[in-house]
Amino acid sequence: MYDIISDVHGQAELLKGLLKKMGYRKVNGSFSHSERKAIFVGDFINRGPYIRETIKLVRAMVEAGNAYTILGNHELNAILFYLKDQAGVRIFKRSSKLRLNLFQTLDEFAAYPEEWKSHMRWMRTLPMFLELDGIRVVHACWKEENIQLLKENITEPKLRKSFLRKISKNNSEISKAFWETCRGIDYQLPKDLLVFDNLGRPHRSFRSKWWLDPFGKTFNELSFESRFDLPNYTIPVELIHHHPAYPETDPIVFFGHFCLKNGGNIISNNLCCLDSCVSRKGKLTAYQWSGEKVLKQENLIKS
């Protein structure tokens, strides 16, 4: 059926090794399997040493019908970085920060500008989520109201510039749905609470366990993948993002984005985070799904 892989981040050699480990072989320029397809959960650009090769590998598999892929926040940031208004001015307010994050990718493609433009056009044709044969795939967060809003607003097989300009303004419900889907639900810390990570860097927000009902949870209980300790007191109601828990009876969701270097990829019977922090000397992780309704630990494959 499907082999789901997340957050490759330019690690083409590790990806090739993982695909071979799962029985994929390169035929006619594309890795393929006689019985299975790969699904990439976004974030295949930036950070790693072989970004150009990674994009070519993923794209070749998708175009040959051997894989699916969705967009991660890194690909979406790249698309938005190049978005311009009618006067030719970059429209995204944080373009300088985006350029810093894209530095390695842009550097690798400096001698191949037309190839990069082709990849950019291709990325705009990719979906933000998938529903296939009873499973769901999203980069960061499956929140039903967000998914429905995106379905209503993305009605063509390409991200239109008019839609992306609306997202760039960052002041609408569709913009909120867009960013939560590819980045998750972040919580701001109270103004009188400042926390530091193990490198001494201060933090004003934290990533949350979006699948939980946040009411009555402490900062520590709701925090996910934080590299710093949070207090064990209840989150004030005024800081809470209102959303229900992800139902235990709903389809399996595969996602990435959250850097789980210490494992724990299977969160519950129907939730699996496949980002094993390859960009921080972690692993590439795949889940080999064959139709089961409950996730199995033995189906996780590491690079």
Tell me what pLDDT residue 93 has.
59
Considering the entire predicted model, what is its pTM? Answer: 0.95
User: Which of the four pLDDT bands, split at 50, 70 and 90, describes residue 132?
Assistant: very high
pLDDT at 169 over 90: no
pLDDT of residue 263: 82
The whole-number pLDDT of residue 100 equals: 76
How many angstroms separate the Cα of 212 from the Cα of each of 80, 222, 273, 301? 30, 8, 15, 27
Q: What b-and-e string marks burial along 72-111, b requiring 16 or more CB atoms within 10 Å of the CB? A: bbbbbbbbbbbbeeeeeebbbeebeebeebbebbbebbee
CATH entry, 2-131+256-302, from 3.60.21, 1.10.530, 2.40.128, 3.40.1440: 3.60.21
Per-residue pLDDT band for 95 (boundaries 50, 70, 90) equals low
Which tens digits make up the pLDDT trace of 192-244? 888 888 788 888 899 999 999 999 999 999 999 767 888 899 999 999 988 99
Please report which confidence band the pLDDT of residue 275 belongs to, taking 50, 70 and 90 as the band edges: very high
Reported as type and span, the H/E element at residue 71 is none
Per-residue pLDDT, averaged over 103-132, amounts to: 96
In the chain, what percentage of residues exceed pLDDT 70? 97
* pLDDT band at 82; cut points 50, 70, 90: confident
What pLDDT, on a 0 to 100 scale, did the predictor assign at position 54? Answer: 98
Mean pLDDT of 171-195: 91
Among 190, 205, 183, residue whose Cα is nearest residue 258:
183
- Residue 288: pLDDT over 60: yes
At 94 the pLDDT is: 57
Average pLDDT of the chain to the nearest whole number: 93
Per the structure block, which two tokens stand in for 262?
Answer: 């210490």
